[in-house]
Structure 1
């Protein structure tokens, strides 16, 4: 008689590690070149017991199963999972403390908790360390995402076993609890998304689930926040199926709150599919609609014929009144030769220095500078040496005799400040 062994989650994880390695042979997934989908030698039961006794902590079981059955760190989200030894060395807060963080922490709660870390300039080192321990206590640092971002495991309390993404301390930015309840579920999701060829930049920060699951969550959501998170979860898909595009089109038509997100998701898969929506946004009287359209075209339109959109954008330049919108105008138009000093003259000679700087950057590749020397002279007359120095930085020096006196006046200071490096 044959007995079939039921596949456990640990078995699945081991098999999926092999599949992920075969899927990503070039190690193109963020952090994969560091860990190469290899785990370290497993921790023995005695080594685990000794560590827990020494640190007076009982680790959550899903995490200990990984350490003793899969590997003592190695392959994992971002730059991988620390060994227990490295995790201990990177955790400088009290492991036995109560974790005070929780999912859904309000900005007000967070600001009260971190106020000494953010706003108290006179805080002593001892007081700072104590305040930091209140925030990070009761958690183990199990890995890093790079820069200021780390991954922690909650050791005690109601949320024991959950993963928390941390960063430096900023007002109104509570740390993020991932959606999964335990380490193994979070880890297996990471493998699944690699195998399914999802976009896993900032893995774990978006709602899990495939297209159908997220549509169902959206349709059954009890509030606007969950609807928004369900839509946001779809950004992990590199391409979206036709039925999902149909669903997003219905959202764009019927749900003003989610309209822009739905259009963005449609255009991520196909700018052509979202062409009508983009033209509608470009023709809108609302400045925010114009900016949204420009952002979407900048993000997803680089390999698409944008001539129809470019014509509308050039005709709409008189509606641009802020640096952010102007920057995105520049991003979209820069590869089309549609930017000239003539059509950017109102921005180049603007009294707002931020708009002027954005315009100077946007026109850096224009070929009509010498012919448009009068516009440049007007700029220099109105803005003085700072404007001249900014144009040198982005344009170099324009060879025209009428501009030479301005360059001569600004050159000594520019040369001193820029160490002779001319862009």
Structure 2
């Protein structure tokens, strides 16, 4: 089911912002429970014209009704900015989104790790000298970076937030998993994986966002009780 009603979100964020306990929620100091103004319909049309693809329905409804970025999971939603006539997302890792290839399909529906295609990391015990081992290890990591960090892996992904330590989450814009949220864990060797709700249902943008909002309210309530 697609969820496009965001009318309750401003009030819920305002209540969180007014409660001192809410500042203890992870990432709150970065977004301060504030959403930037929504996009106007003509601005969204301009953005999608530049991307040459329509954004998934739940996210585009959020942009029009709730905000263009700000309060959200982890350190917040990457905000949209219009600079020099071009729309782009800003934030730590937002540049991983290749706007020119969002129209191309992200082909995956199951978790994958690009590093799985690499040979095993060199073992020092297999080398006669430290110099030979160091040379093999340098070659391995050079190849690792070439294979794991190629932009080809994230074609069709719109990066929306960062969790810290270069871990990020993204929305699939094009491909068989369109509209679903994925995690990019390549920074800690984990590859890419789809995100699921507690019942195993794939997370779309709306449930992903509301799941965070629900957890933030519960966290605030617990902190208030303990105080």
TM-score by length of 2: 0.69
Shift of 1:164: 1.4
The 2-side partners of 1:169 and 1:197 are apart by: 28
The 1-side partners of 2:104 and 2:53 are apart by: 10
**Is the 1:19–1:195 Cα contact (8 Å) retained in structure 2?**
no
What does residue 188 of structure 1 align with? 210
Which structure features the higher share of helix residues? 1
**Is the 1:23–1:194 Cα contact (8 Å) retained in structure 2?**
no
Structure index of larger Rg: 1
What does residue 351 of structure 1 align with? none
Q: CA RMSD of the aligned region, Å?
A: 3.3
What does residue 49 of structure 2 align with? 53
What does residue 186 of structure 2 align with? 168
Shift of 1:194: 1.4
Summarize the Cα distance change of 1:198–1:159 in structure 2 as closer, same or farther, 3 Å threshold: farther
- From 87, 91, 95, give the equivalent of 2:96: 91
What does residue 124 of structure 2 align with? none
- Secondary structure of the 1:164 match is strand
- Secondary structure of the 1:145 match is strand
- From 150, 170, 180, give the equivalent of 1:152: 170
Shift of 1:198: 7.8
Shift of 1:16: 2.1
The 5 A counterparts of 1:220-299 are none
Summarize the Cα distance change of 1:162–1:55 in structure 2 as closer, same or farther, 3 Å threshold: same
**Is the 1:101–1:135 Cα contact (8 Å) retained in structure 2?**
no
Q: How many residues align?
A: 186
The 2-side partners of 1:38 and 1:197 are apart by: 18
- Secondary structure of the 2:152 match is helix
Q: Residue by residue, what CA displacement relative to the aligned partner does 1:155-187 show, whole Å, maximum 9, x if unpaired?
A: 01221111112133565x232322253211111
Shift of 1:110: 6.4
**1:140 equivalent in alignment to 2:147:** no
The 1-side partners of 2:20 and 2:212 are apart by: 13
Summarize the Cα distance change of 1:152–1:56 in structure 2 as closer, same or farther, 3 Å threshold: same
Summarize the Cα distance change of 1:82–1:111 in structure 2 as closer, same or farther, 3 Å threshold: same
Shift of 1:23: 4.3
- From 55, 73, 78, give the equivalent of 1:82: 78
What does residue 101 of structure 1 align with? 108
The 2-side partners of 1:145 and 1:181 are apart by: 17
Q: Residue by residue, what CA displacement relative to the aligned partner does 1:164-221 show, whole Å, maximum 9, x if unpaired?
A: 12133565x232322253211111111111112289xxxxxxxxxxxxxxxxxxxxxx
Summarize the Cα distance change of 1:24–1:137 in structure 2 as closer, same or farther, 3 Å threshold: farther
The 5 A counterparts of 1:63-74 are 63-74=59-70
Provide structure 2 residue ranges, at least 5 long, that are not aligned to the other structure. 82-87, 122-138, 197-201
TM-score by length of 1: 0.39
The 5 A counterparts of 1:325-404 are none
The 1-side partners of 2:9 and 2:159 are apart by: 22
Provide structure 1 residue ranges, at least 5 long, that are not aligned to the other structure. 1-7, 200-236, 239-423
What does residue 28 of structure 1 align with? 24
- Secondary structure of the 2:171 match is strand
- Secondary structure of the 1:144 match is strand
**Is the 1:20–1:191 Cα contact (8 Å) retained in structure 2?**
no
Summarize the Cα distance change of 1:44–1:168 in structure 2 as closer, same or farther, 3 Å threshold: same
- Secondary structure of the 2:161 match is strand
Summarize the Cα distance change of 1:174–1:36 in structure 2 as closer, same or farther, 3 Å threshold: same
**Is the 1:100–1:134 Cα contact (8 Å) retained in structure 2?**
no
- From 106, 110, 116, give the equivalent of 1:111: 116
Which structure features the higher share of strand residues? 2
- Secondary structure of the 1:81 match is coil
